[in-house]
Amino acid sequence: MIEGECGLLSGLNGIFAQFALAFVALLSLVLKRQSEKPRRPLNVWIYDVSKQAFAAAAAHGMGMVWAILVARYRAEEKASQCAWYLVVFTVDTTCGVALALYLHRLAVQAAARACQGELREGVGLQGWRGSCRPSLAAVAACGHYGDPPSLAFFLPQMGEFVMCVFCGRLACGLTVLTFAPLLGVSARLIDQIFRSIFAHATTAATAELWSVMVLGPLTMNVIQVLVQDAFLKFRGRHTQQIPLLDPFGSHSTDD
């Protein structure tokens, strides 16, 4: 990285910027919960938010990795890591989120079909025979965590959603890397805007870092977590025929 150029891991500024981004995303979910009618129980809301937190951490980490890789292996584009991060983040928010949620819906529907097939064949879920495994039952009941809520439901759902987000971010990163010569125009323009506003290179790099890590993604991140939250909370659309059992127990939430 060239001296004075904006870097994603440039000392305390980079660390503070990432904590600020996480705080704003979490705050948006807290504010959304206050307006919910009916409001989800606190423990259910915590599980829903935790899924997003793990997925967001994985996505953010991959986004930084992709930005650093593109800046290094497409050095001829002469754009900073920060500029590439904003490009990757924009592609991910517009295309990657849609892909991740589409994969998530397919996974939930596939799990629901597998478990409903068990019921049509007269095989009880308590025995966990055939294609309806405990993890599939948990994924099929997305947003429901048992009664009382338990990690037996939460962990499979979290793993499934994180994998969907990972696949979406992987596709976006490969897209940016493939079309780097074209997207590099936007990345260079981002750098040039900050250099033209701030005379000192260090000041420009700091301002760019906070802009691409906090101010720029602020609106997109808030929209992203709110949309994902709407998909992740329990609606029972695909699970109305599935007994909502603890995957490792035998009691029903209808008791």
The tens-digit pLDDT sequence of the chain (255 residues) is: 565 678 887 677 777 877 877 787 778 778 777 777 778 888 888 888 888 778 878 878 888 899 999 988 888 888 889 999 989 988 888 888 889 989 999 999 888 888 775 544 433 334 444 557 778 888 888 888 877 788 888 899 999 988 998 999 899 999 998 999 899 999 999 999 998 888 788 888 888 888 887 776 666 666 666 676 776 666 554 444 444 444 444 444 444
Question: b/e string for 206-240 if b means 16 or more Cβ within 10 A?
Answer: bbbbbbbbbebbbebbbebbeebbebbbbeeebbe
What pLDDT is stored for residue 233 in this prediction?
67
What pLDDT is stored for residue 47 in this prediction?
84
Q: How far apart are CA 172 and CA 98, in angstroms?
A: 11
Residue 245: strand pairing partners:
252
Q: Whole-prediction pTM value?
A: 0.72
What pLDDT is stored for residue 84 in this prediction?
92
First to last CA, the chain: 61
Contacts of 153 (CB under 8 A, 6+ apart): 138, 141, 144, 145, 146, 246, 247
3-class SS of residue 58: helix
What pLDDT is stored for residue 255 in this prediction?
41
145 phi/psi in degrees, rounded to 5: -120, 25
Helices (H), the chain: 11-34, 42-73, 81-91, 97-120, 134-140, 151-178, 180-197, 201-210, 216-232
At how many degrees (to 10) do helices 11-34 and 216-232 cross? 40
3-class SS of residue 221: helix
3-class SS of residue 241: coil
Cis peptide leading into residue 38 (ω within 30°) = yes
The CA-CA-CA angle for residues 93, 57, 80, to 5°, reads 65
